[in-house]
Chain A
Amino acid sequence: MLRAAGELSITAGLILLLFCAYLLWGTGVYTQRMQVQLQQELGEKHALPKIELGRAVAMLRIPKFGRDYHYAVVEGVDTEHLKKGPGHYPGTALPGQIGNFVVSGHRTTYLAPFNRIDELKRDDEIIIDAAEARYTYRVTSQDIVEPDEVDVLSPVPGKPDSRPTRAFITLSTCHPEYSAAQRLIVSGVLKKTELRKE
């Protein structure tokens, strides 16, 4: 009896370990596949893109994380969208537009695109490659906020009543790592726009 209980406990422990491995690495397989699809979509876009839920918006690059760091940003921030990659908040500004371009991404699961955004410091670059132009944002600050602090999404981040005159970017992910207790917010402002040559 005792032996069976022991064996069951050990088995349960092993299954839990396996589940953790699945969360950290197994979930990324789906994201990887979706990213290939979304990035292909981005490559095919010629005219101005039509933004639709679940479709690609633009390519996100962060030079600090190396040349290989690039993710297709998907439209939408529901669970199904964030599984595909970093998601753009519907209704917030589009890349380069006046207002706030807000993108949320996973920090530990589903390829963990925003795993290292806590390393972004003032003046680091965040590049958004859209169909019409390359927008380079400059990081201005990093904050830790409560999960219901929706002011960070406003057109002027943190000032819901102000009218925007500049193009901002906001990245959000979970904080601390492996927890849903708070959110890590990285803010930036548009520094340079390079229109694509036809």
Chain B
Amino acid sequence: MYGWLWRSLPGGTGAKLLAAAVLVAVAVAVLWYAVFPLLEPAVTLDEVTVRK
């Protein structure tokens, strides 16, 4: 999967590295700002109230 991705990036090693870094940053940003906030309520590792 990653091998194929690496080969399909255009340019020399430098350009590939840059493009890969940008792709990783985009993936992290989407997870952090869009996906994780949606998942977070499902994780109940920090339930603090007492109730029936």
Contact = CB atoms under 8 A, between A and B. Distances in A.
- Chain B: interface secondary structure? loop
A2 B26 CA distance: 27
Nearest to A8: B1
A101 to B, nearest CB: 14
Interface residues of A, number: 39
A114 B47 CA distance: 12
A110 to B, nearest CB: 8
Interface of A: 3-4, 7-8, 15, 18-19, 22-23, 26-27, 77, 79, 82, 87, 89, 104-110, 114, 145, 147-150, 152-153, 172-174, 178-180, 183, 185
A79 B47 CA distance: 9
Nearest to A19: B36
Contact of B48 (A19, A23, A172, A178): A172
Contact of B50 (A19, A87, A110, A150): A150
